[in-house]
Amino acid sequence: MTADIITPPVDDPFLFGQIAAANALSDVFAMGGKPLVCLNLVGFPADKLGPEILHGIVAGALDKVTEAGAVLAGGHTTEDEEPKFGLSVTGRVHPDRVWTNAGAQPGDALVITKPIGSGVLFNANRKGWVSQGALDACIGWIIALNKTASEVMHGFEVHAATDITGFGLAGHGLEMAEGSKATLHIDLDAVPLMDEALAMYKRGMSTGVNAVNRQLVEAKWRFERQLPFWHEEIFVDPQTSGPLLAAVPEAQADALVDALHAAGITIACRVGRVEAYDGVSRLVFG
């Protein structure tokens, strides 16, 4: 069972509910599971916002819960100064087929299923810096469930998997490296980025957690070529309903990418490899 609560990254209640639900459901998909039952967890300022706002949020969440093949069985609402919404999700997976963020093996290929960059785009949008096209594309990515990607991956030998969320690609990648006692080598040029995300960092935008995420990884990451600070920041950008990152045998990687493309996840690609453990788990960007 997992639980996630987020504050609104968008003003539209229905979209907010969709985003929150997709984010919560992702934890189950990242473990190779099937969501079954969801419960709403709501903080809501009833004295400031009307009931139609709450109804819209729940309707958006229900839309994604239904798409995931689960049911919304109720929940709990409390008074709060700002709206917060999330889901507690119970799922099912055979104990012998649980994916964890440990178990990646030297020689494995790393495959990712979505682009990154939503954190900085939402912050920059508050200043009106992001084009409508880039914002719409970002929202499209984060309301997209990881359901199909997870189902496709079941046809392959997944040694380790995680979803990229609040700690960014670097933070969750390091968790996988440490859990697997390995080094993850990430191809800088292969990582898919959301439109305008890198440009927002170059312009000076950031998020409230980039610095914390960087502190978590900076002792164990290195870059094989010099990048400006703002470019490095994209790898600690916090994601909401981000991609799946999977370690699979090298011999299966191309077939997995092809299968993901055939299923409509055309941005899926190889982004790196798993290297041997030399006493310290690391992230290498090259």
Q: What dihedral do alpha carbons 266, 244, 153, 258 form, nearest 10°? A: 20
Residues 263, 209, single domain; the answer is: yes
Q: Which of 51, 76, 96 is the last residue of a domain?
A: 96
First and final CA of the chain: distance in angstroms?
36
Pairing of β 109-112 and β 282-285: unpaired
Place of tokens 């949008």: 125
What is the residue-wise DSSP string for 183-222?
Answer: EEEE-TTTS-B-TTHHHHHHHT---TTHHHHHHHHTTSEE
- Picking from 116, 240, 104, 206, the residue whose alpha carbon sits closest to that of residue 170 is 116
* pLDDT of res. 10: 62
Question: At 205, which CATH number?
Answer: 3.90.650.10
User: If you average pLDDT over residues 156-171, what whole number do you get?
Assistant: 98
Residues 135, 239, single domain; the answer is: yes
Residues 6+ apart with CB under 8 A from 33: 91, 92, 93, 98, 150
- Look up residue 116 and give its amino acid: I
For the four alpha carbons of 265, 180, 221 and 29, in that order, the dihedral sign comes to positive
Place of tokens 């990154």: 116
- Look up residue 244 and give its amino acid: L
Q: Which of 96, 111, 136 is the last residue of a domain?
A: 96
Residues 258, 148, single domain; the answer is: yes
CB atoms within 10 A of CB 70: 21
Question: pLDDT category, 80, cuts 50, 70, 90?
Answer: confident
pLDDT(83) > 90: no
pLDDT tens string 87-106: 999 999 999 999 999 999 99
pLDDT(211) > 80: yes
pLDDT tens string 2-48: 555 555 566 799 999 999 999 999 999 999 999 999 999 988 888 88
Q: Is the pTM of this model over 0.85?
A: yes
Q: How many domains does the chain have?
A: 2
How high is the mean pLDDT of the chain? 94
pLDDT tens string 237-269: 999 999 999 999 999 999 999 999 999 999 999
Residues 105, 88, single domain; the answer is: no
pLDDT(138) > 80: yes
Give me the domain span that covers residue 45. Answer: 2-96
Q: Which of 96, 111, 128 is the last residue of a domain?
A: 96
Q: Kindly state the helix (H) or strand (E) to which residue 259 belongs, with its residue range.
A: helix 250-262
* pLDDT of res. 84: 87
What CA–CA distance (Å, rounded) separates 198 from 121?
Answer: 9
Residues 221, 114, single domain; the answer is: yes
